Amino acid sequence: MTMKIQEFEHVNYLWDDHVAGQLDPVERLRYRSNILGADQRITNTGGGNTSSKIKMTDPLSGEEVDVLWVKGSGGDLRTSTRANFASLYMDKFLSLESIYNKAEVKGVKTEIEDSMVDMYRHTTFGLNPAASSIDTPLHGLIPFRHVDHTHPISAIAIAASKDQEQLTQKVFGGEVGWVPWQRPGFDLGLVIRDALKKNPKLKGLIMGQHGLINWADDDKACYELTLSLIESAALYIKQHDKGKKTFGGQKYKSLNEEERNKLLVQLLPKLRGMVSQKNRFIGTVHVTDKVLQFVNSVDAERLAEIGTSCPDHFLRTKIKPLYVDWNPQKDSAESLPEKLEAGLAEYRSDYASYYEACKHPNSPARRDPNPTVILIPGLGLIAWGKNKSESRVTAEFYSLAIEVMRSSEAISEYQGLPRQEAFDIEYWLLEEAKLKRMPPEKEFARNVVVVIGAGSGIGKATAHRIAKEGAHVVCADLSEDAAQATAKELAEMYGVGIGVAGTGISGCGSAIALAVDITKREGIRAMLENVVLAYGGVDNIIITAGIFVPPDKQGYIPDDKWALTYAVNATGPFFVADEAKKIWQAQGLKTSLIIATSANAAVAKQGSFAYDTSKAAANHLVRELAIELSPLVRVNGLAPATVVEGSSMFPRDRVISSLTKYNISFDESESTESLRDKLAEFYAQRTLTKSPVTLADQAEMAYLLSSSKFSKTTGQIITVDGGLHEAFLR
Ligand SMILES: [Zn+2]
């Protein structure tokens, strides 16, 4: 089955001889993997694995040995680097079969099968720390030099059809065989090897309810074979496409983008609260024409109930999604949350029954019973995960599952994985062990934290501090450029994660930048609505934005500047709290608000009427909001003093005027940083601790006050001022 490159219509042919020619054999495997993973029609994020058997020099004996290089546990074909591949001595790996055969009870799902995974480590070549995956025998036991195992939509469509065996024959002739569904492991490797022994002409196999595996002795040939098999399946599906009759035809119409977003900003916080009663979730809204065609269709309800088929898909999407039969043309917006509430109750009880019916005596405890995928006619797909990356992956997987269903229903009848098999994957003890090995979740994991003023100074330092705690950080600032710079730094430090999904702003990573002027209520509302569309809701808000207009020697500033000072320092935080209140109440999840005030708020002195009194107002706002927003939201104030370092409040002019005011000698030619150090040192000497107050000190307190460590503290102002006895609160 050799196809010419230009004949591929349903896969992207990306092999470049010039690139491949410059690579060593392991890098060629990495290259092949990356270009396979780059096409979602070939495999999903994190799905599939590839291998090459490569001759290498054994560091101990100096002799040439055969080494199996195979994609290891975790990782993803598209983004894999050399470090994601495990390497095993082929002879040692093959010797494991005798250990397996010695077991009294062997076969799929036996104790010996699960214990093989730990044995792979003993066969490691070259001290490679990459852990081998459960799919290793699928590669090691096949007597060809190169193997690709992928999860292509078109191949899974065949594998998830009722008459999958006959379809395999029909589509591929005798070139590709078929093996029934079996949970991956050592035994499946043996099954595949046996199929090949029986029929040495096979170039690959359709793995029932799972995907495709194929092989060749040349790596480029293996790549091209993978593509041509997927292309053949896709062509067959295309010939049978049902067009307008797909999914039984259309039942509902989509809302337009404006109507949809309006409904989503109302709905998402409520929905997030409903699915988060056990664990907080982060949302991704995914709306494509194909998703809409599905959710609006006659068959959506029936097909959703069958669930996803490929085990890789359903580990994220769960056994099935929640489909809500809401008529976007006739039913009211108000009736949607009610329908969702009822649908969720039914879903949770179904999930409990599924667990009870399928559990084994040693099964792990029942997990969160809430759906991770919610389908709403007219609107699209909403996915939930423990973080943005996971919720994007979930959205990606269900949208791939939709394609599988569309294709399967075009050529046959779609069928899901049997419930017990699904359960045995979901609650596999090896999966549970993997979950248990994961580090504990960080303080702000599953949280969306909005930092207003994140473009500079304390806000920027705070954004960095909370990102370290696993927060999804909304960097909001008057200056969009400054906000973007902070968000970019965070994205570079923490990565954007995996998963290709999300519509508009919902396709974001764990940090976003938004412009906001906190003196404008509409602007604040729009900013928060964007946060809701991006992540599904809002948790903590930390407001560090503030303004200091330098007054004259008597402490006066023009009236308009007085008004601006109050608008930013006192009214702004109120607007933010008042706008966020609606979202927080809809969510019903406990959270916190921090307002940065100032030590000046408590110290009456000469020289800055507007700033000091506006900050005093902010202090009292903290107390009143604490009452107003209880019991859902804790509200506390952070009162910094004299943070000179990196502060937008201390431009060169202000530093010079302060140095002059305090009779500190300086030279006009000195750098701003050096002038700031002088002023910081002077301020430090006025404090009880005699230490300069840094941005990191402020960020630490903003973090702590927002965190569960201060969960019993509200309505308080905490000073971080090095110890100014004049600012002691009474
Ligand atoms: Zn697989």
The confidence score (pLDDT) of residue 309 equals 82
Contact call for residues 138 and 189 (beta carbons, < 8 A): yes
Contact call for residues 209 and 159 (beta carbons, < 8 A): yes
The confidence score (pLDDT) of residue 395 equals 96
Asked whether the predicted pLDDT for residue 342 surpasses 80, the reply is: yes
Q: 557 CB contacts (<8 Å, ≥6 apart)?
A: 549, 550, 551, 565, 609, 610
Contact call for residues 219 and 146 (beta carbons, < 8 A): yes
Per residue in 218-247, pLDDT (tens digit) is: 999 999 999 999 999 999 999 999 999 999
CA 310 – ligand 1 centroid, Å? 8
Place 432 in a pLDDT band, splitting at 50, 70 and 90.
confident
- Give dist(CA 254, CA 263) in Å, integer: 12
Instruction: Tell me: cis bond preceding 377? Omega within 30 of 0 counts.
Output: no
The confidence score (pLDDT) of residue 5 equals 63
Sheet with 541-543, side-by-side order of all strands? 511-515, 472-477, 448-452, 541-543, 591-596, 633-640, 717-720
Tokens of 263: 């409904």
Asked whether the predicted pLDDT for residue 112 surpasses 60, the reply is: yes
Highest mean predicted confidence (pLDDT) among 37-46, 354-363, 420-429: 354-363
Contact call for residues 700 and 461 (beta carbons, < 8 A): no
pLDDT, mean of residues 207-221: 97
CA 155 – ligand 1 centroid, Å? 12
Tokens of 406: 């569309």
CA 210 – ligand 1 centroid, Å? 6
CA 213 – ligand 1 centroid, Å? 9
611 is catalytic: yes
The confidence score (pLDDT) of residue 3 equals 56
CA 85 – ligand 1 centroid, Å? 16
Which residue among 120, 566, 611, 703 is the active-site one?
A: 611
pLDDT, mean of residues 168-182: 96
pLDDT, mean of residues 420-446: 88
**What is each CA distance from 90 to 61, 164, 192, 515, 554, in whole angstroms?**
15, 33, 18, 57, 84
Q: Write out the H or E segment, with its range, that includes residue 517.
A: none
CA 152 – ligand 1 centroid, Å? 10
pLDDT, mean of residues 199-209: 97
Place 435 in a pLDDT band, splitting at 50, 70 and 90.
confident
Asked whether the predicted pLDDT for residue 68 surpasses 90, the reply is: yes
pLDDT, mean of residues 14-24: 97
CA 5 – ligand 1 centroid, Å? 26
Which of 100-104, 367-371, 561-565, 639-643 is predicted with the least confidence, judged by mean pLDDT? 639-643
Place 310 in a pLDDT band, splitting at 50, 70 and 90.
confident
CA 415 – ligand 1 centroid, Å? 18
CA 235 – ligand 1 centroid, Å? 22
Backbone angles phi, psi at 644, to 5 degrees: -90, -35
Place 498 in a pLDDT band, splitting at 50, 70 and 90.
confident
CA 105 – ligand 1 centroid, Å? 25
Of 256, 654, 260, 706, the residue nearest 473 (C-alpha): 706
Burial class of residue 244 (count of CB atoms within 10 Å of its CB; 0-12, 13-18, 19+): exposed
The confidence score (pLDDT) of residue 646 equals 66
pLDDT, mean of residues 367-380: 96
User: What is the pTM for the complete model shown?
Assistant: 0.92
Per residue in 275-293, pLDDT (tens digit) is: 998 999 999 999 999 999 9
CA 214 – ligand 1 centroid, Å? 12
Asked whether the predicted pLDDT for residue 647 surpasses 70, the reply is: no
pLDDT, mean of residues 415-440: 87
CA 186 – ligand 1 centroid, Å? 13
pLDDT, mean of residues 368-395: 96
- Give dist(CA 334, CA 442) in Å, integer: 36
Tokens of 689: 């601790």
The confidence score (pLDDT) of residue 605 equals 83
CA 462 – ligand 1 centroid, Å? 42
CA 142 – ligand 1 centroid, Å? 15
CA 312 – ligand 1 centroid, Å? 7
CA 48 – ligand 1 centroid, Å? 5
Asked whether the predicted pLDDT for residue 2 surpasses 80, the reply is: no
Asked whether the predicted pLDDT for residue 1 surpasses 60, the reply is: no
- Give dist(CA 284, CA 383) in Å, integer: 5
Average pLDDT over the chain, rounded to an integer: 94
Let me know how long the chain is: 730
